[in-house]
Amino acid sequence: MKTNEVLLEIKGLHKRYDEIIALDDINLNINKGEVVVILGPSGCGKSTLLRCLNGLEKVHGGDIRYRGKSLVNNDVNWQEIRQHIGMVFQNYELFPHMTVIENIILGPAKVQKRDKSEVMEQAKQLLERVGLFDRKDSYPRQLSGGQRQRIAIVRALCMNPEIMLFDEVTAALDPEMVREVLDVILGLAKQGMTMVIVTHEMSFARAVADKIVFLDKGRICEISEPNEFFTNPKTERAQQFLNIFQY
Amino acid sequence: MQSLGISVLFKGMNMQRLLEGLLVTARIAFFSIIIGSLLGIALGVIWTSKSKWIRLICRIYLELFRIIPILVWLFIMYFGVTTALNIDLSGEVVSVIVFSLWGAAEMGDIVRGALESLPKHQVESGKAIGLGFWDLYRYVLIPQAVRRMLPGAINLATRMIKTTSLVVLIGVIDVIKVGQQIIENSRIEVPTASFWVYGSVFILYFIICYPLSKISRKLENKWNG
Amino acid sequence: MGLNWQFITDSLPLYREAAWTTLKLGFWGILISLIIGLVCSIILYFRVKVLKTIVKVYIELSRNTPLLIQLFFLYFGLTKVGISLSENTCAIIGLSFLGGSYMAEAFRSGLEAVSKSQIESGLSIGLSKTQLVRYVVLPQAFSVAVPSIGANCIFLLKETSIVGAIAVVDLMNVTKDLIGMYYQTFEALFMLVAVYFIMILPLSLLLTWLERKVRYAEFGN
């Protein structure tokens, strides 16, 4: 699936919160069709990195380029960019006052001004794919966490994004619901969706990733193929990190 | 002198009279708040009773004040109750009675809320470290309950102070009435007197109420935040 | 003590008319309060420069002074410096001046209840600032604010009892006149209380019901 066409190019990215350095000299390319999984201990900056890619955090240095266009100057039209870079959050963040279908078509109808019947058709297909078409008129509160998260993924997909960002999307779920969400993401990977995933699910990361990025204290420690990373990490820190997950 | 309308405030005995009026207002507010709070604390403790009937009666008592405007209560007490009982009560006494009863209702609700919000395990953990009944109240329950009700109680005091403005409508010679007399007396000399007099009464109330609501909000943020 | 029912029947039209006046003033006062409150809360929410300070000063002035003084100042004070207002206009302005700040607080607490992550979620599907406010922030803020808005409506309707002080023919004045002219004290007071009950009790019950509904139907993650 992975191609040589670079979609996102991150160069010397720097980000801080007051005095604390959150991201330091991040360099990373994301190619079309590539699945990049970012791993690292809590507070290492992985979510911050993801949020920078969607304009939710201000960047203090370096550059992010999407299809060659810089995303760090002030006149970036994020409204436009975010239609191409979708994001799914840890706590789903569906709009509680809207039904499932209203949540899904809000963006396509109001932002992209697409034809309603066409959007409905696409929403139907996506909902069927995640097995939730029968819940289209439910409110988020009537759904389980796993169902909500699958809807949140559909909501992002319905915008036809070129890249999807997943920010610890299973971290808030009960263990038995993790699988249903990860299966959806795995399905997307098989279809060639470009994705950047932050997760703590190690075996999932190994299964889905084309490339593992290991982050520690705001810096990239290593970038490896998944098999290599999990069997033979290059750095001491990555080794220590992986040890935590083994009993 | 028309250009200096504000001078009406300082002419002759005007300032002194205004302050005397303010004293009447302050006296009503002071007694109402004290009596209302004491009655309210008692009511609040009774309210936490397990009896459904006691709770219902307390609730109805509060709702009567929530549904019927205070001015109506002043009318009922001033015109109705005095006539019915054939007694003569001054407007000032009537005001203190009505405000105290109203304050007791609202204060009761605040105290009840504070007492009921205290987690049960606080009592249990207090007992667990061997505190007796009085020590339990003194060191554990009362300090926590006070924190929960103080912001609301101060807020209530502000509302009561603002409501004292109504006493003029049942003939009490308060700061507003004195103001009206001054306006009346200087109608010809200082036509803009009402602007200055009402303006200063407005500011007077603000000077008293603003710090109180500020404190209430500060405490609320500090203790509930 | 028996009430004079004949007198009560005779005075019904007077009370009906006064209640109508009260309701009309209350309606306009509440409506304008809602508008003022919404505008003020949005100014505070977006921290609009200069306006933010003006709104803060207004809220403090309005909340820390009695309605009666606000009315006297408007009606008697301002007429003397060249601004003339009719009693009804004055009553409505007074109520709105008072109610606006209470409504602003209600809306503000609603707006603050909308979490930052909901806003980010809206941004992530490309909503513009206006769309975000219209489709995400306001609907959620509104449902959180409903109980306090309701309480404020009741509060304002009760405060209309005070506007009689500037010579509007309202329930209080009718009552006072009947007591003064006919000494039918109990009948007049009975009617007064009855009318307020009829106006406010249904609202109060509706509010209790709404509060419960909003609490249980908390749309929530």
Question: How high is the pLDDT of residue A188?
Answer: 93
| Average pLDDT for chain A | 91
Residue C72 near chain B (CB below 8 Å): yes
Question: How high is the pLDDT of residue A36?
Answer: 95
Pick B195's closest partner by Cβ from C61, C81, C158.
C81
Residue B83 near chain C (CB below 8 Å): yes
Which ipTM score applies to this complex?
Answer: 0.84
Tell me the average pLDDT across B130-150: 82
Q: How many whole angstroms separate alpha carbon B62 and alpha carbon C80?
A: 41
Do the chains contact at B72 and C165, CB–CB below 8 Å?
no
Domain that holds residue B37: 5-224
Record the pTM.
Answer: 0.80
The confidence band for C118, taking pLDDT boundaries of 50, 70 and 90, is very high
Do the chains contact at A96 and C220, CB–CB below 8 Å?
yes
Residue ranges and CATH numbers for the domains of chain C are 15-220 (1.10.3720.10)
Tokens for B76? 């009922």
Question: How high is the pLDDT of residue A73?
Answer: 82
Q: Which residues of A touch C217 (CB under 8 A)?
A: 141
Q: Which residues of A touch C128 (CB under 8 A)?
A: 79, 111
Do the chains contact at A56 and C124, CB–CB below 8 Å?
yes
C-contacting residues of B 139-198, CB under 8 Å?
A: 158, 162-166, 168-169, 176, 183, 191-198
pLDDT, one tens digit per residue, over B74-108 is 999 998 888 888 888 899 999 999 999 999 999 99
Tokens for A168? 């610890």
User: Would you call C80 helix, strand, or coil by DSSP?
Assistant: helix
Residue C130 near chain A (CB below 8 Å): no
CATH number at residue B49: 1.10.3720.10
pLDDT, one tens digit per residue, over B10-60 is 777 888 888 888 999 999 999 999 999 999 999 998 998 889 999 999 999
- Within a 10 A sphere around the Cβ of B54, how many other Cβ atoms? 13
Do the chains contact at A148 and C135, CB–CB below 8 Å?
no
Residues whose CB falls within 8 Å of the CB of residue A57, separated by 6 or more in sequence, listed in order:
A15, A48, A51
Tell me the average pLDDT across C112-140: 91
Q: Name the minimum distance, in Å, from the CA of A82 to any CA of chain C.
A: 5
Q: How many domains does chain B have?
A: 1
Pick A106's closest partner by Cβ from C125, C140, C217.
C125
| Average pLDDT for chain B | 87
Pick B205's closest partner by Cβ from C69, C186, C189.
C69
Do the chains contact at B168 and C68, CB–CB below 8 Å?
yes
Q: Which residues of A touch C131 (CB under 8 A)?
A: 110-111
Q: Do chains A and C touch (3 or more CB pairs under 8 A)?
A: yes
Residue C43 near chain B (CB below 8 Å): no
Pick C68's closest partner by Cβ from B67, B165, B209.
B165
Question: How high is the pLDDT of residue C220?
Answer: 40
pLDDT, one tens digit per residue, over A65-120 is 999 889 988 788 888 899 999 999 999 899 988 999 999 999 999 999 999 999 99
3-state secondary structure string, chain B?
Answer: CHHHHHHHHCCCCHHHHHHHHHHHHHHHHHHHHHHHHHHHHHHHHHHCCCCHHHHHHHHHHHHHHHHCCHHHHHHHHHHHHHHHHCCCCCHHHHHHHHHHHHHHHHHHHHHHHHHHHCCHHHHHHHHHCCCCHHHHHHHHHHHHHHHHHHHHHHHHHHHHHHHHHHHHHHCCCCHHHHHHHHHHHCCCCCCCHHHHHHHHHHHHHHHHHHHHHHHHHHHHHHHHC
Helix H or strand E segment including A62: strand A61-66
